[in-house]
Structure 1
Amino acid sequence: MRFHVVFGALAVAVALAGCNTMPIQNVDQAAATSASGKPLTREQVRAAIVRAGAGLGWQMKDEGNNTLVGTLNLRKHVAVVAIPYTANSYSIKYRSSEGLDEKDGQIHKNYNGWIQNLTRSINAQLSAS
Structure 2
Amino acid sequence: MRKFKMLFIAALATLAFVGCTAAPIYNVESNSVVSNNETNTSLKDVEKAIIRAGAGLGWVMKKVEDGKIQGVLTLRKHVAVVVINYNTKAYSIQYQDSTALDFNPAENTIHKNYNTWIQNLNKAIQVQLSML
Provide the residue aligned with 2:118 in structure 1. Answer: 115
Provide the residue aligned with 1:67 in structure 2. Answer: 68
Aligned counterpart in structure 2 of residue 124 of structure 1, from 116, 121, 127: 127
Report the alpha carbon displacement of residue 10 of structure 1 after superposing the two structures with TM: 5.0
Provide the residue aligned with 1:18 in structure 2. Answer: 19
Provide the residue aligned with 1:58 in structure 2. Answer: 59
Q: Secondary structure at the match of 1:68?
A: strand
Which residues of 2 match residues 67-86 of structure 1 at below 5 A? 67-86=68-87
Q: CA distance change for structure 1 residues 10 and 49 in 2, over 3 Å: closer, same or farther?
A: same
Provide the residue aligned with 2:47 in structure 1. Answer: 46
Report the alpha carbon displacement of residue 59 of structure 1 after superposing the two structures with TM: 0.7
- Matches of 2:40 and 2:89, distance apart in 1: 8
- Aligned-residue Cα RMSD (Å) equals 2.0
TM-score computed with the length of structure 1 as normaliser: 0.87
TM-score computed with the length of structure 2 as normaliser: 0.86
Report the alpha carbon displacement of residue 16 of structure 1 after superposing the two structures with TM: 1.9
Name stretches of at least 5 consecutive residues in structure 2 with no aligned partner: none
Report the alpha carbon displacement of residue 29 of structure 1 after superposing the two structures with TM: 0.3
Amino acid at match of 2:111: H
Q: How many residues align?
A: 128
Amino acid at match of 1:15: A
- Matches of 2:10 and 2:121, distance apart in 1: 38
Aligned identity (percent) is 46
